[in-house]
Structure 1
Amino acid sequence: MAAPTASGAAPTAAVVTDIEGTTSAISFVKDTLFPFAEAALDGFLEAQGSRPELAAILEEVRRLAPDEAPRDALHRWMAEDAKVTPLKAIQGMIWRQGFEDGRLRGHLYPDVAPSLRAWARGGLRLCVYSSGSAEAQELLFGYSVAGDLRPLFTRFFDTRIGTKREAGSYRTIAAGLHLPAAEILFLSDIAAELDAAAAAGLRTCQLLRPADGTQPSGRHPEAADFPAVAARFSLPRV
């Protein structure tokens, strides 16, 4: 059931959310997850390099960086924070070990889990779209500080559908959800991502989390947290 609107605009049927700077602190990703993967990469490749799944990913690394050893290319991409699909896949595999053995717990802002639960109870379809792999997204929400939130979500989208600054990626999401773009609300802290979503016809809202210091773009509706999103777009309240 779509959330009604008071303005006569198309009702919101689905919410697609970014992670970093939106549901979770930027510092958690940059200061916890990324260093964890960087420190574990060499040992992980030595221990797991013969696994068919990982071997296939390393072949993709060789294709994208033919002049470098795969390990060197991965370290370089990590240092550059490159949005490269094979890197994100390997990071996700490393993080899985940390989440499953309890060394990692997915950070969420305190308002996120109650709001997501309220939106799901209200009939909204919830999705994630992040540059991190879909597998990594599921780990963060599955092993979060608020418990296992994976059952709340319909889909997890990553860069395999396209980059987050291309309008075509958001058209693919709308097609995958079998919904008109105007019935999908995309939440992110990054103005360029919101620009692309808006170009594809999605509704947008920029999260301005005080702790993350995001600067408003002036081009999209703004909210400081998920309850403010709910108030602005007439979504179910906690």
Structure 2
Amino acid sequence: MAAASAAPFTINGAVKTQAYLDGSRVKETKALIPEFCRQFYHLGWESGAGGSITIKVHDDSTPKPHQPIVMSPSGVQKEKMMEEDMYVLSPDGFVLSEPLPKSCPNKPPKCSDYWPLFLEAECYHYLSDAAIKLYQLGLNWSTPSHGPIRSPNAVLGSNRNAKVSAKAGTRSPNNGTEPSRRCIVLDIEGTTTPISFVTDVLFPYARDSVGKHLELTYDTAETQDDIKLLRAQVEEDLENGVPDAVPIPTDGVKEDIIPAVVANVEAMIKADRKITSLKQLQGHIWRTGFQSNELETVIFDDVPEALEKWHSLGIKVYIYSSGSRLAQRLLFGNTNYGDLRKYLSGFFDTTVGNKKETKSYIEITESLGVDNPSEILFVTDVYQEATAAKAAGLEVIISIRPGNGPLPDNHGFRTITSFSEI
């Protein structure tokens, strides 16, 4: 996530300036969040400095997916939060405005480490879900002590065999608990989408378009940020002796920098490297392809029906892929089954960590706010990812799809060939 200066920026094709950020729409939204924070704090819904709130800037001239987002900072007491403490972000996570430094310490409040999750504005789902569950259990959601307002039987009615859905499972009359899933986290390549679509369509498109993309967008803040990130990665690659790494000039002219970037990107794609710098640039290139209808994501036939079913059951579905969050939204927003993003609650990419490392799944577990990692089902086609997720306590299923790589003998995981088996 890169910070922007006061230079003009673009939202949905329209050029905006600092005057827009200082305007009434943004200021009203900035003022609204501290008020909510104080209310939620005094109701006991939020701890002093825990959690975050995001609100989109209401602007009838801008479609909702493109509206800027105001986000509360991290580490500031909710009851003491001020309008000037707010961050303003673009829908893809670019910082348009950040708070001024505090007098002590002499630095601005920090943006939450979990900003990708809050960017999806899911908090209201958790609050409403919690209120409904508490009501079903006969508890008063409006007070921190959650005192009883009626007996559970009054809510359940006369049917004593009825079961009440609880946070970590299904509660039966004998107080037994049957395990249930609160969240499902899906891989993309080889799980929801054929590997061939990625290797034979997406990667070649990015490889063949990178030079043209850089030429057309070179002077934009977004592309300069992409180049800066790639340059840092290449410098690390050169130190580590990574083959085919080519230095990217820091003070060179455009005509020297673009060929160096192209050479590195081509080598990275060929090696199928799962690194943030490459994935971020690829996402920006693919955005052009999807917007021009040159690209359309191929989704396995069983996926849309499963997503709709899980959504209707109240199970939140997230995506975790090495592709950038922007690329993930593009992929599921432009499929052969239409826009499937309405069934998805959020997206995770390599900014939370490598998919083959256990700590990445611990990070996701903490972000999703479950009581137990086993409440999360992770579906992937990669054995190493499955092993890492299992070590973090997640339930894991391995997806067997046409074109997927072989699995080790006696791998010990449940496998499926269709989401209908889940």
Q: CA offset at residue 9 of structure 1? A: 6.0
Letter in 1 for 2:417: A
Structure 2's unaligned 5+ residue stretches are 1-164, 172-176, 236-245, 249-260
Letter in 2 for 1:202: L
Structure 1's unaligned 5+ residue stretches are 231-238
Q: Does 1:106 align with 2:297?
A: yes
Q: CA offset at residue 72 of structure 1? A: 2.1
* Corresponding residue number in structure 2 for 1:43: 212
Looking at secondary structure, tell me which structure has more helix per residue: 1
Q: Does 1:221 align with 2:414?
A: yes
Aligned residue runs from structure 1 range 18-167, under 5 A: 18-66=187-235, 68-69=247-248, 70-167=261-358
Mapped partners of 1:213, 1:81: distance in 2? 15
User: TM-score, normalised on structure 2?
Assistant: 0.52
* Corresponding residue number in structure 2 for 1:206: 398
* Corresponding residue number in structure 2 for 1:234: none
Q: Is the 8 A contact 1:106 1:143 kept in 2?
A: yes
Mapped partners of 1:196, 1:110: distance in 2? 28
Mapped partners of 1:171, 1:86: distance in 2? 23
* Residues 4, 38 of structure 1: alpha-carbon distance in 2 compared, 3 angstrom cutoff: farther
Equivalent position SS for 1:46 = helix
Q: CA offset at residue 63 of structure 1? A: 1.3
Q: CA offset at residue 184 of structure 1? A: 0.0
Q: Which deviations, in whole Å up to 9, do the C-alpha atoms of 1:176-195 show, x marking residues without a partner? A: 11012110000000010000
Identify the range of structure 1 (109-118 vs 70-79) with the bigger mean alpha-carbon deviation: 70-79
Q: Which deviations, in whole Å up to 9, do the C-alpha atoms of 1:121-143 show, x marking residues without a partner? A: 11100000001111111111000
Q: CA offset at residue 104 of structure 1? A: 0.7
Equivalent position SS for 2:378 = strand
> Bigger radius of gyration, 1 or 2?
2
Counting matched residue pairs gives 227
Q: Is the 8 A contact 1:14 1:126 kept in 2?
A: yes
Sequence identity percentage: 35
Equivalent position SS for 1:131 = coil
**Relative CO higher for 1 or 2, CA cutoff 8 Å, sep ≥ 6?**
1
Mapped partners of 1:158, 1:105: distance in 2? 21
Equivalent position SS for 1:65 = helix
Q: CA offset at residue 10 of structure 1? A: 3.0
Q: Is the 8 A contact 1:4 1:12 kept in 2?
A: no
The Cα RMSD (Å) is 1.8
Equivalent position SS for 2:190 = coil
Q: Which deviations, in whole Å up to 9, do the C-alpha atoms of 1:83-136 show, x marking residues without a partner? A: 110110111111111111111111100000011110111110000000111111
Q: CA offset at residue 79 of structure 1? A: 1.4
